[in-house]
Structure 1
Amino acid sequence: MILTLGLVSAIQTALIGGFAGYYLSESLYSEIGQRALMVAKTVAATPSIIAGIQQRDTSALNHLARTLAATNEALFIVIGDHQAIRLAHPSPDRIGHSMADDDGDDGHQALIGGQGYIARAVGNLGESMRGKAPVVAPQNGKIIGIVSVGYSVSQVNTTIQRYNFVLYGVVGVMLLISILAAVVIAGRFKQEIFGLEPEEIARLFQERNATLQSVREGIIAIDRDGIVTTVNRTALETLGLGADNQVAGQPILKVLPESDLLSVLQSGSPDFDREVWLRDRQMVVNRIPVWQGDDIIGVVASFRLADELDHVSQQLTRIQQYADALRSQAHEHSNKLHTIAGLIQIGAHSDALSLISREVVDHQTLIHLLLEAVPDPVIAGCLLGKYNRAREMGLHLDIDPDSQMIDIPHNLPRDQLVSVLGNLIDNALEATRKHTGEGGHVVLSMTDLGHELIFEVDDQGPGIDEGARESIFEKGMSSKEDSKDHGFGLYLVRQFLSRWGGSLTVENLSATGSRFTLYLPKTSGQSHGTRSTH
């Protein structure tokens, strides 16, 4: 940048200096020529010069010519008659010869045309600017002679060189200032672009585009005027705008009328994990203002479909439930095996056989119930795992023997249903253990009669205050002491109900505990949301 700006400045100043020098030279030459012509006309109108020509008094004319040349600082004054024969000349040997001998100019324009003119020629006295004027007799107006006044070009060149010295000095100073300005501008520009060179900026731009297109979240950025500056392919696909849609350069309210990016632009406050509806799709959005110093110059938003986040959360919940079930089952069987081994070692064979029989009967009863009432292996596996989990906690999970859950819609996501049911049972177990300690009971009953799937989960916990029955479904709300990683179970339940069109009632039992009743229509429909009953 310094070289480019310096070169441009040098060319500009050189052109300006050259033009100024040329214009100055031409102006001085013209001025000297006009001066010579003016002196020639003055001398030609002098009465003594006219009389000398008429009388052909060469001595008087030469004296007058020398005097007038010295007075007007002219190089020479030459006087000729009507035939351009010299009557006065600085060199006496030239007198009596034609004026055309010096430069080939016989004064025809002045002698015949009667007009004064300017000429540049080289004579025996050197190169000069000459002004020639006719001498006219006042008695009859006839042209009787010619006067030629010359100024040396070397005098003009000396003056031009003096002016050029000043001019080129100014040009040099201008060039130096231009180079210094280029250095300052380049330094300031480099500071604004964080010290990066152009090729580095180009590489970062390509990396930025590749990064934007590789991110699986939609990204949209606007400037301070609310104009879209950046949008990646995922954003276009997520919003259903089409991959070929030219969104960049358009106002954000034209692209997304329901967008709140302008409010973030005005407030300057970031917005994280906000659930919004964009183009009839539920999104989870993060919005961050972009600052430059103390000014907000834009906003960047990243978003993705809420279903994707819920799906990931539900998968993690399901994995955790399976892990808990396997862990509790392994732990329980390990304890039972140690107990049976101890009974055998002390010779209490009958007690060992009784314990084995009781364990086999309990599991066989549960398995038989599940096989008949819940033929779906995913749901049955979840309930078996929760049963073992309850026993590990010192609690009892009682499944109503009259329960039946056979007519489950094929399009109802099993993993989501397991996640919802598992969250309700886990919350009931935690509430029961916290309130009653070991020996507490959690009762589950299920029915698929009618047009809905109904699940009832009764616990022996402390119950739920009426004012808290809505807040327990908010993200991050938990009654556990360590709530950092809790408070998402009932939130996911509500999200599932919102999509499937189910409802959940919460009521306190007459004695102690609470009852959560889950209603799921066999055909997905409009969401009924959550409600509380007494």
Structure 2
Amino acid sequence: MRRVSLQTKIHGLVLTLSLFLIILLTSYFTYMEGKQMAEDRGLIALEISKVISFMPSIIEAFELENPSEEIQPIIEKIKNETGAEFIVVGNKDGIRYSHPLPSEIGKRMIGGDNERAIQNGEYYISEARGSLGLSMRGKSPIFDKQGNIIGVVSVGYLVEDVKEQIVRNVSKELFVSFLALVISIIGSYLLARSIRKDTMGLEPYEIVNLYKEKNAVLHSVKEGILSVDKNGMINSMNKPAKKLLNVKGTVRRLKVDGLFPSSQLYDVLKSGEPQIDREMTWKHQTIIVSITPIFDDDGVSGVVASFRDKTEIEQMVNTISEVKMYSEDLRAQTHEYTNKLYVLSGLIQLGEYDEAINMIQSESSELQFLNQIVFEQIKDTKVQAILLGKLGKASEKKVRFEIDSQSYIDKLPDHIKLFQITLVLGNLIDNAFEAVYDIEEPIVKLFATDIGEDIIFEVSDNGKGITEEEMVVLFERGFTSKTSEKPRGYGLYNADSAVKELGGIIEVHSEAENTVFTVYLPKEKRGGEVWGK
């Protein structure tokens, strides 16, 4: 079924209501005006009849032999002056002494409404049909000097004339009503146009659909979303925002102050300039916030803030770094073994079988030794994967990577995640590889143990060492002693951050040609969870 547009609905509603009111009011005023006009004509007729009944010339004329000769001229003059349709004077027997039609003089008065005046001496208004038609009449008795009723005066206005007057008045009212209807049409058009502009041309059902879609989108995104008006009152907040800010229940029309770090919201409300990816601390947690202003014709009408816990973002970045690190390590391992296979292929083709056998035996014995340590003494698969990747990378970089034969680690506790141990161990070993890059005989050593209450990793290298000035800023974000076009200085920062998340510490000892990083990771998670071996 085709939907009726909002503009059509407004036009129809306003016009129907206006037309109904116009018809109702016009009918009411017409009825009241007709009724009032009839009453007014009756009162005027009564007053004129009273005045005539007290005129001495009229009373004295009744004593004449032919009263109509005296009365008719007087009455005609009065009728012309007052605009009455007729003025009839008759005796107590109802015989006319005056009439608008001279031929009717001397005949009996018609209507049958003279009794109250002639018999009872009353003054009254009546409606009756006479020789001229239906009329509103004012009746007054005529008394002689002794107080006897000698006649009656009847002044009348035809009902037909009253109706004609009403019609003339109603035509004026209908003209005014038509103007009101035209104004209503124009007003309804302007109202519909204004509402359509306010709704951006959308129909009500489209607005409802947008509202439902907006709610669905608002609550489906992972980021917290908060919108406030220009006064700082909350319009909406999705579930992730409530969860992140630890807010329960409805917050609509509440002040944002106290629920969210509002200073930057007010800054955007005031300036109209968006703030993107701003880091702020709120109730012992760091969040990344982007604030965008909402504009209307009067300027900034509100803002929308989207925010996420920085920890989640860092975990995502670290996961990406972890995947990239694995990819690089596997590539290095593959590249190194490919080179060795080429060498073996060349020795065999040249007939240098003894040399090829010696190479295979050397590689096998070294690999067997490393595999014994990695697979038999390092029980955790996460650490095994990291070490295997680094062994391949060390071979490619021509770095001698030694794993202490006394190293031993059981399976890591569950609270130590893969991305965390990768950040710690991977970055420390990579940093050691970088430190011995320019050394003639580069050596990097690893020792690992879980004896005691901590898991200990010790990474040492024979590089140039770390100066006292570098030691102060060693774990700061962005610090590096290398020069490169690519962004650097995040490895040790990320490693230190991961160690702190796990409640551990990093110790650094450095002197000429000997730098040692020692990591202590507690087996017991904060909160009492203990790693059982």
Q: Tell me the TM-score normalised to structure 2 length.
A: 0.82
Partner of 2:70: 60
5+ residue gaps in structure 2?
A: 1-9, 528-533
Matched to 2:232, the amino acid is G
Say whether 1:171 aligns with 2:171: no
Q: Map residues 244-393 of structure 1 onto 2, 5 A cutoff.
A: 245-253=249-257, 256=259, 262-263=265-266, 264-274=268-278, 283-293=287-297, 295-371=299-375, 373-393=377-397
Provide, for residues 323-352 of structure 1, a one-character-per-residue CA deviation record: whole Å limited to 9, x for no partner: 223222111111100011111111222322
Partner of 1:521: 522
Matched to 2:89, the amino acid is I
Residue number among 118, 123, 133 corresponding to 1:126 in the alignment: 133
Partner of 2:477: 472
How far apart in 2 are the matches of 1:430 and 1:82?
142
Is the alpha carbon distance of 1:492 and 1:466 closer, same or farther for their aligned partners in structure 2, counting shifts above 3 Å?
Answer: closer
Is the alpha carbon distance of 1:48 and 1:309 closer, same or farther for their aligned partners in structure 2, counting shifts above 3 Å?
Answer: same
Residues 130, 150 of structure 1: 8 Å contact kept:
yes
How far apart in 1 are the matches of 2:440 and 2:191?
78
Residues 395, 438 of structure 1: 8 Å contact kept:
no
Equivalent residue of 2:76, what SS?
A: helix
- The offset of 1:385, in angstroms, is 0.6
Residue number among 107, 112, 118 corresponding to 2:120 in the alignment: 112
RMSD of aligned residue pairs (Cα, Å): 3.7
- The offset of 1:376, in angstroms, is 1.4
Provide, for residues 358-387 of structure 1, a one-character-per-residue CA deviation record: whole Å limited to 9, x for no partner: 322332232223345532121122112112
- The offset of 1:497, in angstroms, is 3.7
Matched to 2:113, the amino acid is D
Is the alpha carbon distance of 1:492 and 1:15 closer, same or farther for their aligned partners in structure 2, counting shifts above 3 Å?
Answer: farther
Residue number among 151, 166, 171 corresponding to 1:145 in the alignment: 151
Matched to 2:132, the amino acid is L
Q: Tell me the TM-score normalised to structure 1 length.
A: 0.82
Residues 261, 299 of structure 1: 8 Å contact kept:
no
Partner of 2:454: 452
How far apart in 2 are the matches of 1:466 and 1:284?
30
Partner of 1:13: 22
Provide, for residues 297-335 of structure 1, a one-character-per-residue CA deviation record: whole Å limited to 9, x for no partner: 222233444454444334333333332232221111111
Partner of 1:39: 48
How far apart in 1 are the matches of 2:118 and 2:293?
86
Is the alpha carbon distance of 1:492 and 1:46 closer, same or farther for their aligned partners in structure 2, counting shifts above 3 Å?
Answer: farther
5+ residue gaps in structure 1?
A: 527-534
Partner of 1:511: 512
Which stretch of the first structure deviates more once superposed, 176-185 or 6-15? 6-15
Displaced runs of 4+ in structure 1, greater than 6 A? 476-479
Partner of 2:4: none
Residues 445, 459 of structure 2: 8 Å contact kept:
yes
Identity %: 33
How far apart in 2 are the matches of 1:284 and 1:291?
23
How far apart in 1 are the matches of 2:253 and 2:174?
50
- The offset of 1:195, in angstroms, is 1.6
Provide, for residues 33-75 of structure 1, a one-character-per-residue CA deviation record: whole Å limited to 9, x for no partner: 3332332232223221222245571332223222211222211
Which stretch of the first structure deviates more once superposed, 406-415 or 221-230? 406-415
How far apart in 2 are the matches of 1:232 and 1:440?
55
Matched to 1:214, the amino acid is S
Residues 288, 299 of structure 1: 8 Å contact kept:
yes
Provide, for residues 451-504 of structure 1, a one-character-per-residue CA deviation record: whole Å limited to 9, x for no partner: 433434446478574674464169x99974223xx7765564455344322334
Is the alpha carbon distance of 1:225 and 1:93 closer, same or farther for their aligned partners in structure 2, counting shifts above 3 Å?
Answer: same
Partner of 2:502: 500
Provide, for residues 388-435 of structure 1, a one-character-per-residue CA deviation record: whole Å limited to 9, x for no partner: 1232234343444454444844433244222332233334434654xx
Equivalent residue of 1:87, what SS?
A: coil
Residues 442, 457 of structure 1: 8 Å contact kept:
yes
